[in-house]
């Protein structure tokens, strides 16, 4: 009886720790909120593949596109909080409750951040016939011709739309904002002269810039884009401070995921941050590998909700 009692106590003491240490013990579902083939999907797949190798687990990519990522966010918010559902969560996680009015999740309550994954600048580029070689000249041109120049976006409420509105507000411009269904149709109309400029994600802008069909004026982030080292930031070009429009994806799990599992995932992401080959691969895709702790993710979410939420509410933007 004494031996049985000791064995039972030993199992109780070591069983749960062993189970936690065994994570992951099966394949992990990695939810991407966009269709296959785009830069967000390709970047998420590259990170998921490397993350699976670090964790020693198979990663199963599930593309759940729809409602500007709300479909995927709703799905992950309802998933079991066991560490076997991971989410490549975008900016729109915190913006859609404002843009759409009603979603089935709360971004602060229903998700547990792990780490940032990627960030990307937007490039303000112009039709090659626009008579401006830098941002100072472009601002002077637009100010001298109110409501004559137009700026394209990939859709109402998109990040490059919000970047455009921030640009107009920051510099007190009067411009026409033209919305398209996607960044490529907008860029093609810019090349054709129907609109004169737009903020494009780096990967979308590069083919136009390299082909000489458009001209880069500035990037939207506080630091220059590694892919365009000679293009100044908006702040550099104007002497202002604080202009910043960033696209990001962050690794998240459903809220309530056990702390040891979150710690394991965070440690694995820190390991990814040292992977030069992954960093180079993502740079070729036009994005930057960005690894952080969960606190930085929370801070980014809070900042975006406040900053972009103010613009969305002021302008009455709805998707």
What's the whole-model pTM score?
A: 0.91
Looking at residue 204, its pLDDT comes to 94
> From CA 176, how far away is CA 205, in angstroms rounded?
21
Helical residues (DSSP H) of the chain, grouped into ranges: 2-21, 39-55, 70-78, 92-99, 135-144, 159-170, 183-192, 202-210, 234-238, 259-272, 276-284, 294-315
Q: Which residue, among 95, 98, 77, has the nearest Cα to 31 in the 3D structure?
A: 77
Residue range 216-257, pLDDT digits in tens: 999 999 999 999 999 999 999 999 999 999 999 999 999 999
Q: Are 182 and 227 in contact (CB under 8 A)?
A: no
CATH superfamily name and code, 121-238:
Periplasmic binding protein-like II (3.40.190.10)
- Nearest residue to 299 (alpha-carbon basis) of 234, 235, 246: 246
The answer to whether 291 and 270 have CB atoms below 8 angstroms apart is yes
Average pLDDT over residues 171-190: 96
Cis peptide before 196 (omega within 30 of 0): no
- What is the pLDDT at residue 9? 43
Count of residues for the chain?
Answer: 319
Banded pLDDT at 21 (limits 50, 70, 90): low
Say whether pLDDT at 18 is over 50: no
Per-domain residue ranges for the chain?
Answer: 26-119+246-315, 121-238
State the architecture of 26-119+246-315 in CATH terms.
Answer: 3-Layer(aba) Sandwich (3.40)
């Amino acid at each position: 009886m004494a031996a049985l009692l000791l064995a039972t106590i030993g199992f109780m003491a070591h069983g749960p720790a062993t189970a936690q240490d065994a994570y992951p013990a099966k394949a992990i579902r990695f939810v991407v909120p966009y269709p296959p083939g785009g830069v967000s999907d390709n970047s998420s797949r590259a990170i998921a593949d490397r993350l699976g190798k670090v964790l020693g687990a198979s990663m199963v990519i599930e593309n759940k596109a729809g409602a500007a990522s709300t479909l995927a966010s709703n799905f992950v918010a309802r998933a079991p909080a066991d560490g076997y559902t991971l989410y490549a969560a975008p900016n729109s996680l915190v913006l859609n409750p404002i843009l759409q009015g009603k979603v089935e999740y709360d971004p602060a309550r229903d998700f547990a951040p792990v780490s940032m994954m990627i960030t990307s600048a937007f490039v303000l580029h112009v039709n090659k016939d626009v008579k401006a070689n830098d941002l100072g000249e472009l601002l002077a041109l637009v100010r001298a011709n109110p409501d004559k120049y137009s700026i394209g976006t990939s859709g109402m409420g998109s990040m490059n739309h919000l970047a455009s509105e921030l640009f107009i507000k920051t510099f007190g411009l009067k411009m026409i904002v033209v919305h398209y269904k996607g960044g490529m149709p907008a860029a093609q109309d810019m090349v054709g002269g129907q609109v004169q400029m737009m903020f494009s994600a780096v990967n979308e802008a590069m083919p136009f810039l390299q082909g000489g069909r458009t001209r880069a004026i500035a990037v939207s982030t506080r630091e220059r884009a590694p892919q365009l080292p000679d293009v100044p930031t908006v702040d550099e070009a104007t002497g202002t401070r604080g202009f910043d429009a960033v696209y990001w994806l962050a690794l998240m799990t459903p809220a309530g995921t056990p702390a040891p599992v979150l710690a394991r995932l965070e440690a694995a992401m820190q390991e990814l941050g040292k992977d030069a080959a992954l960093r180079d691969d993502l740079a070729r895709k036009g994005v930057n590998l960005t690894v952080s702790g969960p606190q930085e993710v929370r801070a980014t979410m809070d900042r975006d909700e406040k900053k972009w939420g103010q613009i969305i509410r002021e302008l009455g933007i709805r998707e």
